[in-house]
Amino acid sequence: MRSHLAPILAALLLVVSGCAAPVADPTQSQSTDWSWPDDPPTDRLGWENGYWHNESIDIDQSDGLNASEREAFVARTMARVELVRELEFKEPVPVEVVSREAYQAQSGTPTDPVHADWNDQVWESLLLVGEDRTIEEVFDDLYGGAVLGYYDPTEDRIVIVSDSPTPAIERGTLAHELVHALQDQHFGLDASPPTQDMQLADNGLVEGDARYVEYLYADRCGDEWKCVPRPERAASAGGSFDFSVFLVIYTPYSEGPTFVSDLRERGGWQAVNDAYANPPVSTEQLLSPGSYPDERPVEVTIEDRSDETWTRFDHEPVGDTVGEASIYAMLRANRAIDRSDLQRNTGAYSPYNYTSGPSSGWAGDLVVPYRPADDTVAAENPDQRAYVWRTTWDTEADAESFETTYTRIMLQLRMGASRVAPNTYVIDEGPFADAYRVTRDENTVTVVNAPTAEELDAVHSTSD
């Protein structure tokens, strides 16, 4: 599912719906058997299902869109999207409406319990989601109230989330999801990379492409396309959310448009099209578009040094890579960096800036979650989990900067951890109450987490 997140702290979604008067269009080729603005004999860019991109349509969104209005609105928006994106739709795209209650019920479907437990440890390693809640609960709050619409590649349709059966549809939301349909028709949207960082990077291309087209679409409203304001009661979204987790999930939407814009400047829309066969593989490439495609992450490995009381999860892959953007969100959430930098020096099409000194030297990482080897102990003690997180950095200075920020500012200053032994810290209270061993070997930093300091060696021995 490709979803469109609502603007929570920044005005990121457009607030007008398209409506334009017909004008002469010299870009359209003409033949002897028809003349513009009549329907062309064959499909072409800027015309879809009986509507030209600059054709006037009779739409009143004050009472929502009925079936005929929605059909006209969708068709003309398709014509506009394909003209901006310079890709022809291969087939119509149905648009359906579901209630927010129905969407929340659908999106709240439980995941595999092993994966859920494993994934909780990944997010706990980022010190973002502690033992007092699960990442699934956080996602339910985030997506349940923030999604305005989504494209479903399994059913080739767009779904608008609204409590009205005849909703007003925000032009930007519709255009965004139509770009996803266009992507699916040309490149396919079924693949899902194995790690969190690769998923965010891959989504950076997909969502960045759609967001970038939104910006270009909006630029045409005014002199070229006459647009009318969206009714005040048009679709909106709300609900509680965790901003730090949101910041991770929003990385593709924030950094993707600037990344795609950079690709287009290098080689036009063809360069963007080509990227679907060779997508970015790390959020580092999104944050620094010049690093794509040559600078790839270092492959990080963690040997299993646990004793008979701890074991890795029966999960594929055994570990996850969180990446530079997620590490930035961790640092900001725990006030280890200046939070106001988030909205300073942003990219050309980016509302946020995900770079910081302690995270910008990232070269690769791996988180491997652990659980008690005894299934009975694991079942009776769901909070008794552990993990080993290894990060690799471009230079020793980068690794030292991260190690110092992590231990002195995050663990000790912000979370009240006590240093109980060399490189060993204990947090006594709160959702991250655990023991942490943090060591550095040249440009590699390894964090071992366990319920108590005595169990750190049982999870990951310091000797081979």
Task: Tell me the per-residue pLDDT of 196-237, one tens digit each, with 9 for 90 and over.
Answer: 999 999 999 999 999 999 999 989 988 888 764 465 654 444
**pLDDT for residue 100:** 86
pLDDT, mean of residues 426-452: 98
Confidence grade of residue 278 (pLDDT, cut at 50, 70, 90): very high
Reduced DSSP (H G I as helix, E B as strand, rest coil) percent helix, strand, coil of the chain, to 5: 40, 15, 45
Highest mean pLDDT among 27-31, 110-114, 289-293: 289-293
Measure the CA–CA gap between 320 and 115, rounded to whole angstroms.
12
What's the whole-number average pLDDT of the chain?
A: 88
Measure the CA–CA gap between 50 and 82, rounded to whole angstroms.
14
Query: Would the pLDDT of 320 be above 60?
Result: yes
Query: Would the pLDDT of 108 be above 80?
Result: no
Task: Tell me the per-residue pLDDT of 247-274, one tens digit each, with 9 for 90 and over.
Answer: 999 999 999 999 999 999 999 999 999 9
**pLDDT for residue 190:** 81
What is the pTM assigned to this prediction? 0.90
Task: Tell me the per-residue pLDDT of 358-400, one tens digit each, with 9 for 90 and over.
Answer: 999 999 999 999 999 999 999 899 889 999 999 999 999 999 9
Domain-wise residue ranges, the chain: 2-237
Residue 53 burial (CB count, 10 A): 25
Range of weakest confidence among 157-171, 283-297, 419-433: 157-171
Is the model more confident about 447 or about 27? 447
Burial (CB < 10 A; 0-12, 13-18, 19+), residue 296, is middle
Tell me the Ramachandran region of residue 361: left when phi exceeds 0, alpha when psi lies from -120 to 50, beta otherwise: alpha
**pLDDT for residue 232:** 63
